Structure 1
Amino acid sequence: MLYFNRKYFYFALILFFIEIVIAIFFRDKFVRYFLGDLLVVIFLYCFIMSWLRIESTKVAFSVIIFSFVIETLQYFNILNALGWENNQIAIIILGNSFDAMDLVAYTAGIAIVLWLENRKKVLRS
């Protein structure tokens, strides 16, 4: 179950650096918010797949459920409830505002992951 997959790890690293570039240099709504959220679920998927040997659909659905839970916590202002509304690290990790388009971005990101994984299986057979 625990192992190291170099390809997924490299993809995760690349996506992590792309996310940093987006966070630092982009201010427009599409790239920063939609594309950034789409890429973050792909990053999480690749990061998990780089360390665990688990069926890809299980990881993909786990990542999207996790993302939806975080977005739901934003809807209920979890940072304010915990007294963390001024904690920059908590704001970066959990976010601080609900946006239904984030759910669309997460879904699109996981759809891309599932499509690519399915395509990879078809090409191998």
Structure 2
Amino acid sequence: MKNQCARICYGALFAALLAVEVLIALFVHDDFVRPYLGDVLVVAVVYALVRVFLPRGAPLLPLYVTLFAVLVEFSQYFRLVERLGLGKNRLLRIVLGSVFDWKDILCYLAGGALIFAAERLICGRRPL
């Protein structure tokens, strides 16, 4: 029963964070929230989604999600979408991105750090 409650909570968190990300993408056209806060939040979105399926979590899950985000960013450096011949697929270009930026990696690291802190402060867990 406890796992089911956790799944529902993480599902609601995922839905809320995803809604915020979509609203940012559609309506915010500034030089801070969209490019930086959006990248910080995307790590939390992916983390919440994974926790729906792994409600008990994994001690290093925040690290794994952060590394995943960094790997996606590096795939942009190597133009993976174009090399796979998927450059015309708008959805993949949006999800995987198309422009590498070191600042994005810093934002993903900040997002991962916030997840570690939230796990510690809110849940009382020590991720490491």
Q: TM-score, normalised by structure 1?
A: 0.88
Query: Structure 1 or 2: larger helix share?
Result: 1
What secondary structure is seen at the aligned counterpart in 1 of 2:24? helix
Residue of 22, 25, 36 corresponding to 1:23:
25
Counterpart amino acid of residue 80 in structure 1: E
Structure 1 residues 10-89: aligned runs within 5 Å: 10-89=12-91
Counterpart amino acid of residue 66 in structure 1: F
Counterpart amino acid of residue 30 in structure 2: D
- Segments of 5+ residues of structure 2 without an aligned counterpart are none
CA distance in 2, matches of 1:57, 1:107: 17
Compute the displacement of 1:61 (Å): 1.2
CA distance 1:110–1:57, shift in 2 (3 Å): farther
CA contact (8 A) 1:38 1:109 kept: yes
Structure 1 residues 73-112: aligned runs within 5 Å: 73-112=75-114
Greater shift, 113-122 or 53-62, is seen at 53-62
CA distance in 2, matches of 1:4, 1:119: 17
Counterpart amino acid of residue 28 in structure 1: D
* Cα RMSD, aligned residues only: 2.1
CA contact (8 A) 1:74 1:97 kept: yes
CA distance in 1, matches of 2:22, 2:16: 10
Counterpart amino acid of residue 50 in structure 2: I
Question: Paired residues, what number?
Answer: 123
Divergent runs of 4+, >6 A: none
CA distance in 2, matches of 1:71, 1:106: 9
Greater shift, 6-15 or 52-61, is seen at 52-61
Counterpart amino acid of residue 104 in structure 2: D
Share of identical aligned residues, percent?
A: 31
CA distance in 1, matches of 2:74, 2:5: 32
What secondary structure is seen at the aligned counterpart in 2 of 1:5? helix
CA distance in 2, matches of 1:54, 1:103: 27
